[in-house]
Amino acid sequence: MNSRQAPLRWDLFCRVVDNHGDLGVCWRLARRLIALGAASVRLWIDDDSALVWMAPTAEPGVTVERWREPLPHEVAGDVVVEAFGCDPPAGFVAAMAARERPPVWINLEYLSAEPYVARSHGLASPQQGGPARGLLKWFFYPGFTPDTGGLLLEDGLPEARAAHDAQAWLGERGLAALPGSRRVSLFCYEQPALAGWLDAWSAEGAPTTTLYLTPGHATRQAIAWLGAPLEPGRRARRGPLELCALPWLPQPDYDRLLWSCDLNLVRGEDSLVRALWAARPLVWQIYPQHDGAHLAKLDAFFDLHFGATADARLRVAWRHWNDPGAPAATSDALFEPAGRALAADAAKRLAAQQVSLGDLGSRLYAFAVAKR
């Protein structure tokens, strides 16, 4: 059945842990499901404060509901998605089990390029006890291959990106870069390597760089390095480096910032996917784990992104950006002609490849229809 012919009612559960990525993914998914023909999407969230800037306008068909326990008198929709294993409230799960025709229950997992994703995608987990007893939970894995769930992508993005005028867009928002400068966006967690890269970019004789700082860690660390305040909308100059502090941007504006830059330094999952769709050189800061498991995930994505063409210096730079214990590395390989061309070609190739595979929203909708 074509997913657009099945106007399903969706419940999407999201917990905001300590960053904005989970909510960013869920809001984009909710909008995508409506675009695909969903009758409605209820986004259950424990902290919706970031939606004030992330999505300042309402989306017809999407309602934002406060996650509370219990959820009294709530009737589950046709499909229930828990984002990243967040476990819906027990009372809601009991209401799911009580339905004559239980909803399709899907756990939307984290994105990875590791081999286990294809093996685990689409598997069912029969629930043996508690309020979920008798229900099936399906595992849906985003990924980069045809045997995974794909990546979130809205209709028309490649065409809009191709028509984007970076200089005009930046100028209209008071974000014009220094003439002839390299444009770099920065969205990061705590980043021990940042001060060294700022030192290099601000050194006498270095190429001119305009660095767009997102709020949070990026701006705080830049202020500490600068030794002076830097409010949103203001700029500071240190040698050939100009720092431009941004306010929190709505998702469409952040996407276009990525389209406008020569290099995007991104973190987590949502901004990584948006940087991929920008088809521009990027460096990914993966969410750090104390046991170091994130580094294997980083290497898997690096290998997928660059393939056999990878320059060893690019790998060293990526690893230094993610591992304080790794050998020190500069960003030179990202800007020198050979490394820059390689990174640009890899970005364009991967973006085109992922577009050809189809998007996560369409695959998820078709998956839910097939399981009903």
Answer for the pair 233, 247: CB distance below 8 angstroms, yes or no.
Answer: yes
Question: What are the backbone angles phi and psi of residue 265, rounded to the nearest 5°?
Answer: -100, 110
Identity of the amino acid at 215: P
DSSP 3-state helix, strand, coil percentages of the chain (rounded to 5)?
A: 40, 15, 40
**Residue at 222: amino acid letter:** A
Distance CA 372, CA 368 (A): 6
Identify whether 253 is a catalytic site residue. no
**Which residue in 337, 321, 364, 348 sits closest to 29, CA to CA?**
364
User: Please, are residues 62 and 38 in contact by the beta-carbon 8 Å criterion?
Assistant: no
Catalytic, out of 22, 78, 109, 270: 22
Cα–Cα distance between 336 and 339 in angstroms, integer?
6
Give me the residues paired with residue 282 across strands. 264
Backbone region of residue 84 per phi and psi (left: phi > 0; alpha: psi in -120 to 50; beta: other values): left
Backbone angles phi, psi at 185, to 5 degrees: -105, 145
CA pair distance 321, 286, nearest whole angstrom: 9
Find the catalytic residue in 11, 82, 269, 359.
269
Contact between residue 80 and residue 103 where contact means Cβ atoms under 8 Å apart: yes
- Quick check: 273 and 361 in contact, CB under 8 A? no
CA dist list (Å): 247 to 139, 219, 231, 351: 36, 10, 9, 28
CB 120 within 8 A of CB 139: yes
269 is catalytic: yes
Cis status of the peptide bond prior to 146, with omega within 30 of 0: no
- The set of catalytic residues is 22, 269
